[in-house]
Amino acid sequence: MTDVPLDHSMFSHPGGPHDNLELRDLYESFDSLHLKPLWTQIDDLMPMAPQPKAVPHLWRWSELRPLAERAGALVPVGRGGERRAIGLANPGLSGRPYITPTLWAAIQQLGPRETAPEHRHSQNAFRFVTSGEGVWTVVNGDPVRMSRGDFLLTPGWAFHGHHNETDESMTWIDGLDIPFAYQMDTGFFEFGSDRVTDYATPDYSRSERLWAHPGLRPLSGLENTVSSPIGAYRWKYTDSALTDQLFLEDEGHPATIEPGHAAIRFINPTTGGDVMATIRAQFHRLRPDVQTTTRREVGSSVLQIFDGSGFIEINGTEYAVEHGDILAVPSWAAYSIKAATQMDVFQFSDHPIFEALGLARVHLEGNVD
């Protein structure tokens, strides 16, 4: 019998087995056959509540933007510097380039007159534009204008590239389900054209002209789609919807999610559900001095401050935030948002995954589960 080093976790549970030579021999036999007994693993595998490895973390736009500009001067946007995307790595995830265990977030800048060559991947993606005008993303041959505040989709396996027709840079954030696809072994990738397939610069893409008419569905598109067929959700409509919710509240009508808190969800018009099967996107507007109810949710979120300033509290720690700042909210973390000025917050999450699997859970402070 080989002397097995003592692992205190094997003997630390009340009512569990006591350390002895026979038990150590049993554990050595388990190890030799790549077996792990549940009674030594249960605290880690089946905790009383989620124990995420990701941690709350704040990335400040005042630090991110200059780094994106430096990368723009030093790294090619084409092959070898693929898209010049800079991923936000959560400090709790052992150096992986993931903002949460299921979500990727990156900042990306396209310089004056640059073209990012086409590629495609099975991972779902979107772009949310923080600044700039005059860039078009071409998705499966459809040129889609990009402007500040626009939310743009690139569903999985759609070819896409970008071109900048101006003398100014544009900066945006990318959101993808890369970590989820990596863990599930579902990732595919393919290079496309070194240019883009259409250099046209229309105000509205073909997908918008067909699909982005409120309350109207083309009879040529009656089959439901996994991802939204709309290429861009324009800021002017997002802004108008949030403004009208607050106006209706002023008039005494029910329109906001809670007092002073207007919010919308971007949806797939073919199903009424989320824009993509793995990613939810929402937008919030808070009046000055309004604080949201503290909530916990199974699944992780990313928040970006689009405009205004205020505070976000996560698990009891308060973060002062302003335009462009990005925060990671781990699964089941308690968080709330408090506005100092009028505050606009873009949010994306992995919640559709857990709802589809029947694993979703939400707790609002003050409610009884």
Q: 204 pLDDT exceeds 60?
A: yes
Structure confidence at residue 369 (pLDDT): 57
Q: Answer yes or no: is pLDDT of 2 > 50.
A: no
The span from the first CA to the last CA of the chain, in angstroms, equals 51
Half-sphere exposure at residue 297, Cβ-oriented, CA atoms within 13 angstroms: 20
What pTM did the predictor assign? 0.92
Are 130 and 306 in contact by the 8 Å Cβ rule? The answer is: yes
Average pLDDT over residues 154-178: 96
Mean pLDDT of the region 314-341:
98
pLDDT tens string 265-279? 999 999 999 999 999
Angle of CA points 208, 177, 356, to nearest 5°? 85
Residue for token pair 């505040």: 149
What is the reported pLDDT for 7? 54
The residue-averaged pLDDT of 11-24 equals: 75
Of the candidates 64, 164, 152, which has an alpha carbon nearest to the alpha carbon of residue 106? Answer: 64
The pLDDT score that the predictor gives to residue 15 is: 64
Indicate whether 260 pLDDT > 60.
yes
The secondary structure element, H or E, covering residue 215 is: none
> What is the Cα–Cα distance from 245 to 248, expressed in whole angstroms?
5
Residue 337, both tokens? 């948002």
What pLDDT was estimated at residue 1? 42
User: Binning pLDDT at 50, 70 and 90, where does residue 5 land?
Assistant: low
- Res 6 pLDDT > 50: no
As a whole-number percent, the residues of the chain with pLDDT over 90 amount to 85
Strand-pair partners of 312: 319, 337
Tell me the pairing of strands 189-191 and 115-121.
antiparallel
